[in-house]
Structure 1
Amino acid sequence: MTCEEMRAEDNVSTITEFVLLGFSDLPNLQWLLFGVFSIIYVIVLIGNSFIIIITRLDAALETPMYFFLANFSFLEICYVSVTLPRILVNLWTQDRSISMVGCATQMCFFLMLGATECFLLAVMAYDRYVAICHPLHYPLVMNHELCLRLAAGAWIGGIPVQIGQTCQIFSLHFCNSNHINHFFCDVPPILQLACGDTWVHEAAVYVVAMLFVTVPFMLILASYSKIISTILSLPTAGGRAKAFSTCSSHLLVVLLFFGSASITYLRPKSNHKAGIDKLLSLFYTIVTPMFNPMIYSLRNKDVIAALKRLLLKKIV
């Protein structure tokens, strides 16, 4: 065994924690970033909580569409809470270390909730497909029992696979460095720290990404191809505008989330650049959850009407 191999073996046994470099390359902006991310976190919590509360309080919003929207808003709160509090702690304390168990836990919850988001967006697209393409059968098809099953399937469907993927990734030997050039424990930057041939693990990541990102996205595209075809066949411009308005918010969230996530997880390992990965990750971990309440409330007449009714009740 060579000296280099002996040192590598030693490093394997000594790595018990990682260091999240995050935004350490911007030393003069640490407090500004802390302030910006704090505001974003508050917006995410308040905005998505508002969606959940108003869909529960207003009887007019007790429909499958808003049932799934409430689930989606709760998911966004959980999703952001996996990464943002850790970012804020790192910026506040400047202590960027994270234990291997902590890193694995963060990655596991991030992947599970990411899978839930993919499935839930596909379920929401199916709901819109039934509502627009088969309006007469909508109450019968999208009954309460089916909605509960679809929501439960979205929440738990990815748990076994993502736990397995996390265990597989953290079974690797990390002998090069323990510095993660990212702001949370994501799959691509962790794989870059592994020594030896990791092509099997990379292939597994691609397979899982195809299953949890590409398949739901294709189902969404299939739903929207039918939806657009139906909308274009409506006889009046008013009917087309109303039908499209119920889908445009969801479609915007889909493009933001799937676009950035697909580029991140379906690129080859050799093409990953830390700066680009961080920027893309900001979109599907922080930007989408922040804009979700604004997209679904400001662009939705039913939500605005429900808010007016709620405010009138408070005034009276």
Structure 2
Amino acid sequence: MPKTTGRTNQSYPVSFILLGISEWPHLEKTLFWAVILFFTMTTLCNSSIVLLSFMDPHLHTPMYLFLGNLSFLDLCLTTASVPQMLPHLWGPDKSITYTGCVIQLGVFLWAGATEGVLLVEMAFDRYIAVCQPLHYTFLMHRPLCWKLVFLVWLSGLIVSLFQSSTTFQLPFCPHHLLNGFLCEMPVLMHLACVDTTANEWQMTMTAVIFTMVPLGLILASYGCIAQAVRSMKSEEGKKKTI
């Protein structure tokens, strides 16, 4: 059982135990190598996109600015989870420190909220490029794009700070066992020894705002793009759009 501090409600543990797939230990080594392969490919691909979009002057466009930030988000997600997951799969130690759990959850929430809004901006960029091509340079100028990127990261940070703080204010049960590989909100709330209805509603509303609403806007944007492409009479114009 993990140690706790001297608080009477034992809500501030020194560490958590991530159970993962401890019920099937024979699968851990196989999953270890699969995760290594996935992590290597993801890191190489996203790092290449970030470097190319930054170093190549021909790629200093709004589309590649957003794409580079999206790849950087994926790097943040993988580096916040995989390096911590690999020792758990290979060795007997399944613990994660309280600080490590806070950081991991914060990064997940930050990247998740940021990614949803960033994908909307990418869809809007493509909508302007296809449906309003004559106004594209005027509307999607570089200073505006940098401001949009900043606002996206800021909104994700605000969501992360708010949700992670309310989650870790919950009093946790003494055993501190988490059913999973990672520190995620549903897993941590399941460990709480109080009613978490308010936290669950908060998580649901955030998911709707930063997942379902962006999904609807993205689908609407690409629906308009598809309609604009179908209405093009020139086959060359359609090919350029694709």
| TM-score of the pair, normalised by structure 2 | 0.89
Percent identical among aligned pairs is 39
1:178-234 Cα deviation digits (max 9, x unpaired): 211111001111111112321111111112212222222222122122212211211
Kept after mapping to 1: 8 A contact 2:109/2:160: yes
Which residue matches 1:81?
79
Quote the Cα distance in structure 1 between the aligned partners of 2:12 and 2:168.
14
Amino acid in the other structure paired with 1:135: P
1:66-97 Cα deviation digits (max 9, x unpaired): 12111111221112111111111212333111
Matches within 5 A, 1:134-153: 134-153=132-151
Which residue matches 1:182?
180
Amino acid in the other structure paired with 2:95: S
Q: Does 1:34 align with 2:32?
A: yes
Quote the Cα distance in structure 1 between the aligned partners of 2:11 and 2:224.
55
Amino acid in the other structure paired with 2:167: I
Amino acid in the other structure paired with 1:209: A
Amino acid in the other structure paired with 1:160: I
Structure 1 residue 164 displacement after superposition: 1.4
Match for 2:45 among 19, 38, 47?
A: 47
Structure 1 residue 236 displacement after superposition: 3.4
SS of the aligned residue for 2:17 comes to strand
Matches within 5 A, 1:129-208: 129-175=127-173, 177-208=175-206
Q: 1:158 to 1:52 in 2, by over 3 A?
A: closer
Q: Does 1:63 align with 2:61?
A: yes
Give 1 or 2: higher helix fraction. Answer: 1
Amino acid in the other structure paired with 2:63: M
Quote the Cα distance in structure 2 between the aligned partners of 1:204 and 1:56.
37
Structure 2's unaligned 5+ residue stretches are 1-6
Kept after mapping to 2: 8 A contact 1:169/1:191: yes
Indicate the RMSD between aligned Cα atoms, in angstroms. Answer: 2.0
Structure 1 residue 53 displacement after superposition: 2.4
Matches within 5 A, 1:220-299: 220-243=218-241, 245=242
Q: 1:236 to 1:203 in 2, by over 3 A?
A: same
Quote the Cα distance in structure 2 between the aligned partners of 1:174 and 1:203.
19
Structure 1 residue 241 displacement after superposition: 4.4
Quote the Cα distance in structure 2 between the aligned partners of 1:104 and 1:62.
35
SS of the aligned residue for 1:19 comes to strand
SS of the aligned residue for 1:117 comes to helix
Kept after mapping to 1: 8 A contact 2:102/2:164: yes
Kept after mapping to 1: 8 A contact 2:46/2:74: yes
Kept after mapping to 1: 8 A contact 2:76/2:107: no
Amino acid in the other structure paired with 2:114: T
Structure 1's unaligned 5+ residue stretches are 1-8, 246-316
Kept after mapping to 1: 8 A contact 2:172/2:191: yes
Structure 1 residue 11 displacement after superposition: 6.5
Amino acid in the other structure paired with 2:17: V
Kept after mapping to 1: 8 A contact 2:11/2:174: no
Matches within 5 A, 1:95-110: 95-110=93-108
Kept after mapping to 2: 8 A contact 1:176/1:194: no
**129-138 or 13-22, which moves further after superposition?**
13-22
Which residue matches 1:311?
none
Kept after mapping to 2: 8 A contact 1:20/1:179: yes
Structure 1 residue 121 displacement after superposition: 0.8
Kept after mapping to 1: 8 A contact 2:63/2:125: yes
